[in-house]
Amino acid sequence: MRSTASGLFVKERRENLLARWRKKMLAAYPADSAKFYGRECNGFANPVGQTIIENGEQLLNLVLDEGTDEEVRAALDPIIRIRAVQELSPSAALAFVPALKTAFREEIQELHTDNATSNALAALDARVDEVLLVAFDQYVLCREEVATIRVREAGRHVSGLLRRLGVAEWLGSGEPPESGSSPPRGE
């Protein structure tokens, strides 16, 4: 597959493919956000855009050149981390991976399709499906991390409120206040 798939997408065609795919990656965002993220600039002014642009290109090359699952996971991770904390449904967060199949077909539609091209596309489809599974695993792990962080933060918030109210001392001692008394009030 390496030579056939890579041969279909020579340098110029890879750049066109990447541009098509980038548009599909950004389609999950509102128009203004997509326009902003789609502009290439430094990581300080547009870190989300830079991550999508750089890691998307790296991921595309790994799909075409048969990168290892570990390399694919490393390229996916920054994109997935961003999408895991955004207000996107899981399907919208991961839709950019199967969108690569559509981008492949759009880019080579004008080529004469022979058996070799069809076989290369079938192999690329299978590879994109593998990448989607890796992306799903990464997404679930990131969402679990986000949930853990939120639970810890809520615990810290409640603990702080209890300390401010002076309730934490008598709750922590295991001794309830005397009958008829209320917990001390903080000011």
156 lies in some domain: no
174 lies in some domain: no
164 lies in some domain: no
pLDDT digits (tens, 9 = 90+) for 2-26: 445 666 677 778 888 898 999 999 9
185 lies in some domain: no
Is residue 177 pLDDT above 70, yes or no? no
105 lies in some domain: yes
Residue from 43, 61, 62 nearest 52 by CA:
43
pLDDT digits (tens, 9 = 90+) for 68-117: 989 999 999 999 999 999 988 999 999 999 999 999 888 887 666 677 77
76 lies in some domain: yes
Distances (CA, A) of 106 to 17, 26, 54, 146, 155: 8, 17, 22, 36, 50
129 lies in some domain: yes
What pLDDT is recorded for position 7?
63
Residue from 84, 15, 88, 89 nearest 51 by CA:
84
Average pLDDT, the chain: 83
Query: What pTM does this model have?
Result: 0.74
Q: What's the number of domains the chain is made of?
A: 1
Distance of CA 167 to the CA centre of its chain: 41
CB 62 within 8 A of CB 93: no
What is the domain range of residue 113? 2-141
Q: Exposure pattern of 114-147 as b/e (b: 16+ CB <10 Å)? A: eeebeebbeebeebbeebbebbeebbeebbeeee
40 lies in some domain: yes
CB 44 within 8 A of CB 5: no
